[in-house]
Structure 1
Amino acid sequence: MFTRRLLLALVMAFGLQFSSASAEDPQIVHMVYFSLKEPTKANKEAMVAGCKKYLKDIDGIVYFSSGIRGEAFARDINDKEFDVSLNIVFKNKAAHDKYSDHPKHLEFIKEFKDQMAKVRVFDSEVK
């Protein structure tokens, strides 16, 4: 009896969550992968610190993280052609667009652009 009630409660909760999410604008997942010209440990750590300093607290961000590529993840399927990742989820596209022109974002680019060998950006819509 308990299991049936729990299952019913979960189905109802997820059903309500999915139905309310479909009425909203999709969130934007913004994933950025930086390859550095000089990928020293100090440079990687400085870029992660810069991401946190300039980008973490911009309005419209639902989730933020930045880190150094995990060396332990070395399967054939793992992409190893980056040094630092930046992962942001925005409330919606409008928040993403404001971020793109935000002075702190532009300041981050100005400070770190000379250290970047390659930047790959992946944006997706999620509900």
Structure 2
Amino acid sequence: MSKDRLAHNVFFKLKDATPAKVQELVDACKKYLNVQPGIVFFAAGPLCAELDREVNDRDWHVGLHLVFVDKAAHDAYQDDPTHKKFIDENKPTWAGVRVFDSYV
């Protein structure tokens, strides 16, 4: 098993992408997903509308970026009750979710 840090990046596409709904999801990320042990970096925010090059993937509204000390911390986060509460409360607002995990 690798001891490398693990980056967990999640991109949410909302059913209602009004600025207020985008901010609600950003706020929920900050409330529920920055409290688990093993997180060394956390950020959540909206798509940067000013960056619109051909290579920019723009099919999402809120990005969540976490780096964990290792894969074990990530795995514990997935089972954390606060993470599960975030999903239960916010999943109905999602039109789609894409997850990208990598060792860093």
Q: Do Structure 1 and Structure 2 share a fold, with TM-score over 0.5? A: yes
Displacement of 1:46:
0.3
- Give SS of 1:25's match: coil
Length-normalised TM-score, structure 2: 0.97
What CA distance in whole angstroms lies between the structure 2 residues aligned with 1:75 and 1:25? 36
Counterpart of 1:32?
10
Length-normalised TM-score, structure 1: 0.80
- Give SS of 1:123's match: strand
RMSD: 0.8
Counterpart of 2:64?
86
- Give SS of 1:59's match: coil
Q: 1:1-127 residue pairs with structure 2 within 5 A?
A: 25-126=3-104
Q: Unpaired segments of 5 or more residues in structure 2?
A: none
Deviation >6 Å, runs of 4+:
none
Q: Which has the higher contact order (CA 8 A, sep 6+)?
A: 2
Higher helix share: 1
How many aligned residue pairs are there? 103
Displacement of 1:57:
1.8
Higher strand share: 2
What CA distance in whole angstroms lies between the structure 1 residues aligned with 2:28 and 2:15? 16
Amino acid in structure 1 at the alignment position of 2:73: A
Counterpart of 1:7?
none
